[in-house]
Structure 1
Amino acid sequence: MRKNVWLICLGLVCCNLISAQWSPAGNKIKTSWGEKLDPKNVLPEYPRPIMERPEWKNLNGSWNYAITKKGAPVPNVYQGEILVPFAVESSLSGVGKTVGEQQELWYQRTFEIPASWRGRQVLLHFGGVDWQTDVWVNDVKVGRHTGGFAPFSFDITPALNKGANRLVVKVWDPTDRGEQPRGKQVEKPNAIWYTPVTGIWQTVWLEPVGAVHIAQLKTTPDIDKRTVKVDVATNGPSTDKVEVRVLDGNKTVAAGASLGGLPVELSMPENVKLWSPESPSLYDIEVTLYKDGKVADKVKSYTAFRKFSVCKDKSGFTRLQLNNKDYFQFGPLDQGWWPDGLYTAPTDEALVYDLKKIKDFGYNMVRKHIKVEPARWYTHCDRLGLIVWQDMPSGGPSPQWQMREYFNGTEVVRSAVSEANYRKEWKEIMDCLYSYPSIGVWVPFNEAWGQFKTVEIAAWTKEYDPTRLVNPASGGNHYVCGDMLDLHHYPEPNLYLYDPVRPTVLGEYGGIGLALKGHLWLPDKNWGYVQYNTPEEVTKEYRNYANRLLELIKKGFSAAVYTQITDVEGEVNGLITYDRKVIKVNEAIVRSINRKICNALNE
């Protein structure tokens, strides 16, 4: 990149910031939060509560953007402004354009480093960018990342100048024409497949750290031993000591230290508080890193004491357990899409709204379907008390799907590139989410979409994280592996297979549709697995299915997932409209029967 090009770009930034006026793109429905969005204060909350430092700088807001042919050089002229971190296809980006596999999306802005950060290293963080990301700071390429669902960062210190610094980001995303995990994005949206999401879709931020600093925390509670193990990964250089304190409010309840990079293992008091959806007790953690006898870094985190396991009950059924007790897990499918922000909730208040409504409806679990959320979403689950079933976003071709029998489904043979993309991103997702207490189940595959080497992938997932349960293929081709057998059946619940060794769960059912005029993404072609005309009819059918589920719990079901919490694009089978403005059922009735289901194994 030539210096004269940068002068042009800098001039464009100043001109655009003065003259341009952001407004949402398109005429699709919007949430109330999107309608009131302040473009000068976009998602201002600290983006990573599981490992928090006091100093940081938010880079969300107005950036320049351009869309060019794939392989073209950095643009001389940018086409306008985009509101980061909303994907370019979204309304809230202010752009509303598609990109596709033959083009690339460019971002450009300037930033300054606070004077108080001088002498420290500066990390540039991206919460999520879909899919291949190249980054330059002051003409210096600082790194590349592939993957649309895991956070990443670069140390940009060597590239920084005093005063203004120029940041350029290039993104290429082939959507469903590539060999990468992509979730439900397709070039031509229809039915259960949705609008593409290209580029930055989570917060971009800067953070100052010392030359020696904490890179990652891995927190592992054990309720049987009453211990918590804290693995502290650093950025490389050796350290003297790591100190860890566990706090209950302002009171220190456990403390310890380790040398030479070893984990810190702490014993908790006998009256340790257990986490559950009914009582989501959290403990704060402080981690201090020493180098040459001096404090090199300090971060705040938190943990919770809970255990996810399986066990035979007195009737001989294998049940899911929470904290060594039979516990029926029941919650909605949550796809995490927004009519105005697509992958990105307009505000943190919007992000937590769906979760609060899930609790209001009386559920104790949520299945995060074919998507990974920003870090704050998982912290909200931790605080509210919702068990999370975390899907791996799908990708790759689908094999023969035989969901009603064992062993007869044909697994897909992926290319080496596709398999490598899957394995890399699944590991990154598990790494970044490991310490969130609410995550109870990993789901590598859904409905045979891209399902390959199921036994091997399930075994690797369990080996990599033995503290959680593995649902090997939710509603997919069934093999005797992982921790449960997961059936899908629409619309009513149905127990058509049973596993005497593993818990049998109903990973999807329901899909009761209601199209409400004025709250629809599409003017027509809206659908549900069954459709009704009034909230009263939907509530009545929901209750019918729930009563059927209660009977099947007695016959072996150990968990269930209702489709779904909100409408998504042309799907109108949510309990809430896509714009989150109307609850489509009688909330009190739904809550009452949901609580009965959640307590079915405790009566």
Structure 2
Amino acid sequence: MSNASIPRPEFPRPQWVREEWLNLNGTWQFERDPGRSGEQRGLPTADRLSGEIVVPFPPESALSGVACKDFMPSVWYRRTVTIPERWRHRRIRLHFGAIDYKARVWINGREAGSHRGGYTPFALEITDFLKAGKNGIVVCAEDDTRSPLQPSGKQSSQYHSHGCSYTRVTGIWQTVWLEAVPETYLAEAKLTPDLEGARLFIEAKVDGPAKGMTLIATAFADGVEVGRTHAVCVGNRATAVIELSGVRAWSPEDPFLYDLDLRLEQAGHPVDRVRSYFGLRSIAVDPPAILLNGKPAFQRLVLDQGYYPDGIYT
């Protein structure tokens, strides 16, 4: 499948962007497992599943190519991928935007990890499971919307939609992708804007050996640098403050966003780089009003209830 025809081709994590990534959306092998016997039947190591599906659309949806509206307590996915040669000395992370509800993942027949929760993204470090050439990825998703122990939102517990409960969503329903990172990389950062002080607080977390590492943070407004700072890693964290030259507040009328460049360096040599963004605004409560940038914000809200008919959740 060409890049132009991959569904949801955009980078799935816009506030934490790296250059080296690979979108795994598109056609996967697929099999329903109503008896939950797939593991006993050897599906984690199978060369082929019985059908196909278009990821990331749930099998209940028309866009998936499956369009099965019945209950599916267990489903299986499989595809192969060749890791780019330029990633040879990198750590490889496999990301899932969302799988409803319980997921297990195998790489080349070995279980690499699991996740519980249908609405949260997760990632697995799969470097040690990979081999040269083609690598097999197998996913099993279990989903029981009729169980009182499983949060299912407004997914119907009956065969048909009823009342304000709608078509169910099973399995993968958000983008699947690979990411290549160095041995030591920027894992995440908490960004806290300070409108009154015209600055941004950064609390970054580093994964891997961080001794001697320095975080370089640069803010841009419309492509022009408006602030830069650096901080030495202490343990696996770095805390920094960018003083901004000039203030342009975020508001619904002017939803301006600053660009943020985060670099990890060691002895002046680049180690990792992430691009992000932030808005400069303040929120406070002055009963009965909610204040945005020090002014009361009138909220006019509409409930748009129901799911997208072709992709349901996706």
Partner amino acid, structure 2, of 1:322: L
Q: CA separation in 1, counterparts of 2:291 and 2:238?
A: 31
Query: 2:22 aligned to 47, 57, 60, which one?
Result: 57
**Per-residue CA distance 1:44-90 (angstroms, 9 max, x = gap):** 11111101011211110000111122243243552211000000111
Q: 1:267 to 1:334 in 2, by over 3 A?
A: farther
What's the counterpart of residue 214 of structure 1? 186
**Per-residue CA distance 1:527-546 (angstroms, 9 max, x = gap):** xxxxxxxxxxxxxxxxxxxx
**Per-residue CA distance 1:223-260 (angstroms, 9 max, x = gap):** 12222111111224324111100111221111111112
What's the counterpart of residue 97 of structure 1? 68
1:24-35 correspondence runs (5 A): none
Q: 1:71 to 1:264 in 2, by over 3 A?
A: farther
Higher strand fraction: Structure 1 or Structure 2?
A: 2
Q: CA separation in 1, counterparts of 2:144 and 2:184?
A: 38
What's the counterpart of residue 70 of structure 1? 36
The answer to whether the 8 Å contact 1:127/1:152 transfers is: yes
1:142-221 correspondence runs (5 A): 142-188=112-158, 189-221=161-193
Partner amino acid, structure 2, of 1:92: L
Higher helix fraction: Structure 1 or Structure 2?
A: 1
Task: Look up the SS of the partner of 2:62 in the other structure.
Answer: coil
Q: CA separation in 1, counterparts of 2:306 and 2:181?
A: 32
1:502-517 correspondence runs (5 A): none
> Per-residue deviation at 1:191?
1.3
Task: Look up the SS of the partner of 2:300 in the other structure.
Answer: strand
> Per-residue deviation at 1:176?
3.5
Taking structure 1 as the reference length, the TM-score comes to: 0.48
Q: 1:173 to 1:50 in 2, by over 3 A?
A: same
What's the counterpart of residue 240 of structure 2? 264
Q: 1:175 to 1:292 in 2, by over 3 A?
A: farther
The answer to whether the 8 Å contact 2:205/2:238 transfers is: no
Q: 1:284 to 1:115 in 2, by over 3 A?
A: same
Q: State which structure, 1 or 2, has the greater radius of gyration over its C-alpha atoms.
A: 1
Whether 2:23 is the aligned partner of 1:48: answer: no
Q: 1:333 to 1:217 in 2, by over 3 A?
A: farther
Task: Look up the SS of the partner of 1:183 in the other structure.
Answer: coil
**Per-residue CA distance 1:281-324 (angstroms, 9 max, x = gap):** 11000000124553211000000111121115xxxxx2111101
Taking structure 2 as the reference length, the TM-score comes to: 0.90
Q: 1:224 to 1:296 in 2, by over 3 A?
A: same
Q: Percent identity?
A: 38
Whether 2:269 is the aligned partner of 1:304: answer: no
Q: CA separation in 2, counterparts of 1:250 and 1:149?
A: 35
Task: Look up the SS of the partner of 1:168 in the other structure.
Answer: strand
Q: 1:251 to 1:129 in 2, by over 3 A?
A: same
> Per-residue deviation at 1:136?
0.7
What's the counterpart of residue 129 of structure 1? 99
Q: CA separation in 1, counterparts of 2:57 and 2:75?
A: 13
Unaligned runs of 5+ in 1: 1-16, 18-37, 313-317, 345-603
> Per-residue deviation at 1:187?
2.5
Partner amino acid, structure 1, of 2:49: Y
**Per-residue CA distance 1:351-389 (angstroms, 9 max, x = gap):** xxxxxxxxxxxxxxxxxxxxxxxxxxxxxxxxxxxxxxx
Q: CA separation in 2, counterparts of 1:66 and 1:133?
A: 15
